[in-house]
Amino acid sequence: MSMDNHKTSTSLRIGISIAMIIMMLGLAIFLNIFTTYAITNQMKVLSDLNIPITQGISHIYTIQQMQYQSFDDTTIYQKIDNSKNYEFSKSQFESYSNQFDYQIKKINELTNSYLNYGLDYDTNKELSSIIANLNEIESIHSQYVQKATQILESQSDDNLKDSVTMQTALETKQNQLNLKISMLDGGIQNLTDALENKADESKQKSVTLQAVIIISAGIISLALGYFLNLINKDLVQEVIRKTKSLQKANRKLERINVLKDDFINIASHELKSPLHPIYGFVELAQNGDIGMEEALAGISKQARQLEEVANRILDIGRIDNGILQLSYEKFNLSDLLLEIASSYRSNEKIKIETNVEKGIEVEADRVRVGQVIHNLINNALKFTEAGIIQVITQQDLEKNLIEVTISDSGSGIHPDILPKLFNKFATRGPKTESWKGNGLGLYLCRGIINAHGGHIFAYNNKESGATIKFTIPIMRHLNARELHQKILN
């Protein structure tokens, strides 16, 4: 589950990183296109505006120079009274005036047409000052023409003093006009420079911005690479972890498989063992070597043992699968213990002692509990060559528990086996030398006691031998009143 979340967030993060890189590169390309357009636009303005205006200005200048010339000619022809040439020069002078006005108007229109072209503030300001300059030039020129006309008309009056003053004023106007025209030229030059600077600036800005974006994309790519590396490391760790857990599971399965093989071997051994004498009895009886009755008695006893073995194997299967069924009944545990203990005959070597409280009524599976007691006494006998086997009971009514202790003075339990004594095949399989019994008895005992809700445990005695204790509840479902009465009694 956590792995799934991890995966999702990982792919999401990779996706976002890649999307950001693509977006940034896209932005860089867009910016490049935009800048190119802007620069192209500025250059277009520059070429469209600059050349005709510059040409216009030089026209104005030429026209102006020629007008001076024609004015001079007119005044000379006036002095020498060449009326034919005077008229011609005068009309030429007037035509230059018209041409001048026309050129001014043309430049004005040209400039005006760019005013609302969507240019930046500085360019517009420059254009406005050019227009103002043009207007001034126009007005100075018209003053000049007016003055020149006055001079030509007053020449006939021979008023010399006036004539000199007027001539001086005309020259002033002429100089003013020249100045203004050269200023206009300068303005145009400024505009050109400004536009060129703007284009350069745009280019530089765009280059810088693109560089920033590309570097950012690069940094994000590096981060993504680092991040992928981290994820990869995580994945490697994950694989190592999973492999380890799989190896662990595999080892567990191998162990279980060995246990299963052992179980099959032991089950087959246990089943075949009583079968062998049954065949023997049949064979001997058939050949007349023994009597029929002896054979049948033997067969019947072995058949019972076989049944017992079969039941035990079935019980192991039930315990393994957690389906051991108990049939509860109320019975006298004291009587059961005494009955089982007395079924084992004490001899000179081994003595079975009982220290059992009288009248212990319990609610449990009588047959199963009997099986456990049999098993434990059998075990004690198996490991005790000579000595005492004790069966002791102790009731704890408050806790609703009865404790049964079976201790012997035998060889004790090997410390290697003790911690896993109640496991399946704790006493080892047939391949080991210390093998005693089938290794299922105590496993079965624990299964039965645990199914009752009790506990079973073992320890080695200080002096000699071992002790096995088990507890089971006295009453299955204890009711408070019953308990109270039990305690009172």
Does 274 sit near other proteins (CB under 8 A)? yes
| Residue 408 phi, psi (nearest 5) | -130, 175
Burial 366-383 (b: 16+ CB within 10 A, else e): bebbbbbbebbbebbeeb
**Contact with other proteins (CB under 8 A) among 272, 399, 420, 484:** 272
**Contact with other proteins (CB under 8 A) among 36, 268, 300, 378:** 268
Span from 42-50, 217-225, 316-324, 433-441 in contact with other proteins (CB under 8 A): 433-441
CA distances to 109, 356, 437, 442 from 446, rounded to whole Å, are 113, 22, 16, 6
Does 276 sit near other proteins (CB under 8 A)? yes
Does 447 sit near other proteins (CB under 8 A)? no
Site residues for other proteins, 226-265, by CB under 8 A, read 265
* Residues touching other proteins, count (CB under 8 A): 29
Span from 167-175, 177-185, 226-234, 426-434 in contact with other proteins (CB under 8 A): 426-434
Per DSSP, 420 falls in state G
**Contact with other proteins (CB under 8 A) among 61, 344, 435, 459:** 435
Evaluated on CA atoms 177, 178, 183, 184, the torsion sign reads positive
Evaluated on CA atoms 476, 477, 481, 484, the torsion sign reads positive
**Contact with other proteins (CB under 8 A) among 433, 479, 481, 488:** 433
Per DSSP, 410 falls in state S
Alpha carbons 459 and 27: distance in angstroms, whole number: 80
Site residues for other proteins, 345-384, by CB under 8 A, read 382
State in angstroms the smallest separation of the CB of 426 from other proteins.
16
From residue 381 to residue 410, what is the string marking binding to other proteins with x (rule CB under 8 A)? -x----------------------------
Does 280 sit near other proteins (CB under 8 A)? yes
Nearer to other proteins, 45 or 299 (CB): 299
Site residues for other proteins, 283-302, by CB under 8 A, read 283-284, 287, 289-290, 298, 301-302
Does 431 sit near other proteins (CB under 8 A)? yes
C-beta separation of 429 from 435 below 8 A = yes
Ramachandran area for residue 468 (φ above 0: left; ψ -120 to 50: alpha; else beta)? beta
C-beta separation of 423 from 439 below 8 A = no
Residues 6+ apart with CB under 8 A from 111: 49, 53, 127, 130, 131, 134
Contacts with other proteins, residue ranges (CB under 8 A): 265, 268-277, 279-281, 283-284, 287, 289-290, 298, 301-302, 382, 430-431, 433-436
